[in-house]
Amino acid sequence: MADNKSVVGGDHPNLTFRRYKDNDSDHGRWIEDVVSSGLSYICPTYVHKTPPCQGSCPSGHDIRGWLTIARGMDKPADGSPWQEYAFKRMTMSNPFPSVMGRVCPAPCEDGCNRNEVEDPIGINSVEQFVGDWALEHKLSLLEAGKSTGKKVAIIGGGVAGMSAAYFLRLKGHDCTIFEEYAELGGMAVFGIPGYRTPREVLEGEISRIIDLGVEVKLNTRVGKDVKVEQLEKDYDAILWAIGATTGRNLPIPGADAPNCVDGMSYLRAFNEGRLKYLSGRILVVGAGDTAMDVVAVARRIGHIEHHHEKDRPENVILGFTVHDVASVAKRQGGDVWIVYRRLVTDAPATKHELDAVLHEGVEFHDGLAPIEVIKDEDGQAKALRVQPVKWTDGKMENDGDEFDIECSLIVAATGQTGNYEGIEDFDNGWGLIDSDKLYCVKDKPGHFVAGDAVKPHLLTTAIGQASVAVDSIDSYLDEEEIPKRPKVDSHHFNLLDELRSRHLEPEEFKQDEHYDDWGTDSSNYAVHNFDDRANAEIIPHEELFLGYFEYDPMHRRTESLVGADEILNNFDERFRCLNEEQTIEEAGRCMSCGMCFECDNCLIYCPEDAIYKVKDSEHAIGRYVATDYDKCVGCHICAEVCPSGYIKMGMGG
């Protein structure tokens, strides 16, 4: 093959027209070598696989599905706005699109095959636009299912508990949320600063779930105000979604000082409006997303040099007092440090959050392992003693003499645990609840769990676990064995559902009439020539024809990065939503991995005119083209030029 470096849309190494590299002469699998003189007995079939964005999403979003709607390819059958249609598709798996479009670190974008071309699809951006549009136009969620008469108690009103309530109502089960605090939302309210998730957005998405008929009991702690035994009598199943709302203290001497606090308590004090300023240098130990929120808040609220003893920040964080609003006028810029034992390049925080806090004036001191909190004569922490370290082959080694960093407040952001007072039987010893892969609590029939109580992770993980747990609850309530989950466990596109929505579903199969039928290409009782492998396979970029896609960088949301000199008292939302035109264009960048996006390549390049468009009256997503097997010669060209990897050779001709 000639050394042709021709690319589409510019000089980009990944955008080559060719499937094969220079000097690639190794023979493939002999079983696949079936073409002789341009002919074979193997004909095309249409194979649906899971795209990597969906495979990377802990909540199993049908991302490709709602991007297909946003780009205008999948049009609503009832003529409703595309945003409403996309919202319905989104909320099949996630009732919080506006929130998640803002705060999710987007593992889906990390997995996106478009990374092999230039930039990933701005999935969060499209999700935020649709979610905000739905709130603005007061859209409701999917309707609750027909009542089953079954009742489920949900312990905890955070994202996991609220999502579980939503999925339970879709199945027709009644549910009651028992929430310890005075409002719903959990860590989405108390742990994430409001400038990242506007409260009206979160409250709007919570209200839609409650409107489905969810009973809520606030200021009610299970284990104290109501006993587990009583819930077991009153409800048919119990879902634990209590989260991990308590931060872990530093495991070093002196960490019991009153001004050595945990990140969860600190963020709760801020989000409840009690903590309005700090004092002196603030040291934050840890470099995850919680640490980023802690330091970002610290830079925004600043510090006051002289204050009353009762107004010390730790007294506010520990709940002993509340800051006076009048004193806010005295605030100055905060002196905020991150102390991390590994290198900054190893920080587990989302990269854009880390970059943002550094831009805002936070100092990052890496390679320092905390070894002791140094106290003054009053028992207050006055410094953090650290040991410089280096890492060799994953092992930490001392790298210099220890020294003290003076400070006024130390915030530990190194992990979270749950509060099991009154429910000690559920504590696995690590402040979490043990469960199996189906989110059944071990050795406690009728009890299920989801969210951070399983293991602290992302909000989208809590949503996904709630969905799986509700499926398990549904089987349990029906007194059925809880089935195994598929290998690729997501809310997959279903061709039959798509056909039914357009009244194109196959006719009823009558065994006595069709038992001896051979072949289904001309039958109306079967979906011919379609193979759904989405439950088992994620399609890699190697199966796509990347040369089809022009260089088209991501439409990025405008980010209002604030410098160190302007950050004090700046609580503006960081990301500005794309407009409708930008959203549609961004969705149009999707490569529709594992599903036809109607590019016409197979129609254009088929030398025998064997591939044809289905009639407009029969058209649906996944049913755009078909093959005339009387004409097909098995040349494989259609599969070679299919950009999305949807066409495979496998039908016997």
105-143: b (≥16 Cβ within 10 Å) or e: bbbbbebbbbebbbbbbbbbbbbbbbbbbbbeeebebee
Residue whose entry in the numeric block shows the structure tokens 């003076």: 406
Kindly state whether residues 321 and 407 are assigned to the same domain. yes
Kindly state whether residues 350 and 209 are assigned to the same domain. no
What residues are paired with 21 via a beta bridge? none
Both tokens of 294, joined, read 């802690």
* Mean pLDDT (whole number) for 310-323: 67
Specify burial of residue 280 (Cβ count, 10 A radius: 0-12, 13-18, 19+).
Answer: middle
Report the predicted TM-score, pTM, of the whole model to 2 decimal places: 0.89
Residue 9 has pLDDT above 50, yes or no: no
Which DSSP state fits 97?
H
Q: What's the chain's average pLDDT?
A: 88
Q: Is residue 571 assigned to a domain?
A: no
Query: What CA–CA distance (Å, rounded) separates 571 from 551?
Result: 36
pLDDT at 15: 56
Residue 321 has pLDDT above 80, yes or no: no
Kindly state whether residues 252 and 384 are assigned to the same domain. yes
* Chain segment 338-358, per-residue pLDDT in tens: 999 999 999 999 888 999 999
477, 498, 516 — which closes off a domain? 477
Q: Give the ranges where 239-312 is alpha helix by DSSP (H).
A: 263-271, 289-301
User: Are 234 and 166 spatial neighbours (Cβ–Cβ below 8 Å)?
Assistant: no
* Chain segment 32-86, per-residue pLDDT in tens: 666 666 677 788 889 999 999 999 999 999 999 999 999 999 998 888 999 999 9
Query: What CA–CA distance (Å, rounded) separates 267 from 580?
Result: 34
Kindly state whether residues 407 and 332 are assigned to the same domain. yes
What's the total number of domains in the chain?
2
pLDDT at 221: 96
Percent of the chain with pLDDT over 70: 89
* Mean pLDDT (whole number) for 283-305: 91
* Chain segment 222-269, per-residue pLDDT in tens: 999 999 999 999 999 999 999 998 888 899 999 999 999 999 999 999
What residues are paired with 281 via a beta bridge? 335
**All residues at 6 or more sequence positions from 378 whose CB lies less than 8 Å from its CB, including other chains:** none
**All residues at 6 or more sequence positions from 367 whose CB lies less than 8 Å from its CB, including other chains:** 340, 341, 342, 343, 388, 389, 390, 399
- Higher-confidence position of 162 and 542: 162
Residue 31 has pLDDT above 80, yes or no: no
Residue 4 has pLDDT above 70, yes or no: no
* Mean pLDDT (whole number) for 119-131: 96
Parallel/antiparallel/unpaired status of strands 558-559 and 575-576: antiparallel
User: Are 74 and 433 spatial neighbours (Cβ–Cβ below 8 Å)?
Assistant: no
Which residue type does 288 have? G
446, 461, 477 — which closes off a domain? 477
* Chain segment 507-531, per-residue pLDDT in tens: 777 776 666 666 666 677 777 778 8
Q: Is residue 206 assigned to a domain?
A: yes
- Higher-confidence position of 139 and 651: 139
Kindly state whether residues 263 and 347 are assigned to the same domain. yes
Helix, strand, coil percentages for the chain (3-state, nearest 5): 30, 20, 50
pLDDT at 6: 33
Q: Helix 580-587 to helix 63-70 angle, to the nearest 10 degrees?
A: 130
382, 398, 415 — which closes off a domain? 415
User: Are 261 and 233 spatial neighbours (Cβ–Cβ below 8 Å)?
Assistant: no
What is the distance, to the nearest Å, from the Cα of residue 307 to the centroid of all Cα atoms in its chain? 42
pLDDT at 1: 32
pLDDT at 506: 80
**All residues at 6 or more sequence positions from 465 whose CB lies less than 8 Å from its CB, including other chains:** 58, 160, 439, 450, 451, 454
Q: Is residue 489 assigned to a domain?
A: no
- Higher-confidence position of 26 and 219: 219
- Helix, coil or strand: residue 403: strand
Range of the domain at 212: 151-245+418-477
* Least confident window among 275-284, 316-325, 400-409, 474-483: 316-325
Question: Which run of H or E residues covers position 113?
Answer: none
Residue 321, CA atoms < 13 Å, CB-side half-sphere: 13
**All residues at 6 or more sequence positions from 115 whose CB lies less than 8 Å from its CB, including other chains:** none
Q: Is residue 346 assigned to a domain?
A: yes
Indicate the pLDDT class of residue 461, thresholds 50, 70 and 90. very high
Percent of the chain with pLDDT over 90: 67
pLDDT at 323: 63
Q: Is residue 120 assigned to a domain?
A: no
User: Are 345 and 354 spatial neighbours (Cβ–Cβ below 8 Å)?
Assistant: no
pLDDT at 264: 92
Query: What CA–CA distance (Å, rounded) separates 462 from 164?
Result: 9
Both tokens of 60, joined, read 């199993």
Residue 390 has pLDDT above 90, yes or no: yes
Parallel/antiparallel/unpaired status of strands 281-285 and 335-340: parallel
Calculate the alpha carbon distances from 37 to 113, 604, 636 in Å: 34, 21, 12
* Least confident window among 287-301, 320-334, 604-618: 320-334
* Chain segment 408-442, per-residue pLDDT in tens: 999 999 988 999 999 999 999 999 999 999 999 99
Q: Is residue 130 assigned to a domain?
A: no
Kindly state whether residues 409 and 422 are assigned to the same domain. no
Q: What is the DSSP string of 534-596?
A: TTT-B--GGGS-GGGSPP----PPEE----TTT-TT----SEEPP-HHHHHHHHTT---TTS-
* Mean pLDDT (whole number) for 537-550: 92
Kindly state whether residues 254 and 396 are assigned to the same domain. yes
Kindly state whether residues 410 and 269 are assigned to the same domain. yes
Kindly state whether residues 401 and 427 are assigned to the same domain. no
What residues are paired with 620 via a beta bridge? 623
pLDDT at 212: 97
Which own/partner contact pairs does 321-326 have at CB distance under 8 Å and 24+ positions apart?
322/273, 322/274, 323/274, 323/275, 323/276, 323/277, 324/276, 325/276
Both tokens of 25, joined, read 């002469």
pLDDT at 85: 96
Q: Is residue 650 assigned to a domain?
A: no
Query: What CA–CA distance (Å, rounded) separates 206 from 95?
Result: 8
Calculate the alpha carbon distances from 341 to 289, 306, 376, 492 in Å: 16, 32, 25, 42
Kindly state whether residues 275 and 372 are assigned to the same domain. yes
pLDDT at 651: 63
pLDDT at 34: 66
**All residues at 6 or more sequence positions from 562 whose CB lies less than 8 Å from its CB, including other chains:** 359, 360, 570, 572
Kindly state whether residues 368 and 290 are assigned to the same domain. yes
* Chain segment 578-601, per-residue pLDDT in tens: 999 999 999 999 999 999 999 999
Q: Is residue 591 assigned to a domain?
A: no
- Helix, coil or strand: residue 70: helix
CATH number assigned to the domain comprising residue 208: 3.50.50.60
Residue 330 has pLDDT above 60, yes or no: no
User: Are 547 and 18 spatial neighbours (Cβ–Cβ below 8 Å)?
Assistant: yes
Indicate the pLDDT class of residue 196, thresholds 50, 70 and 90. confident
Indicate the pLDDT class of residue 328, thresholds 50, 70 and 90. low
The separation between the first and the last C-alpha atoms of the chain, rounded to the nearest angstrom, is: 30
Kindly state whether residues 283 and 232 are assigned to the same domain. no
Question: Which run of H or E residues covers position 469?
Answer: helix 459-477
pLDDT at 7: 37
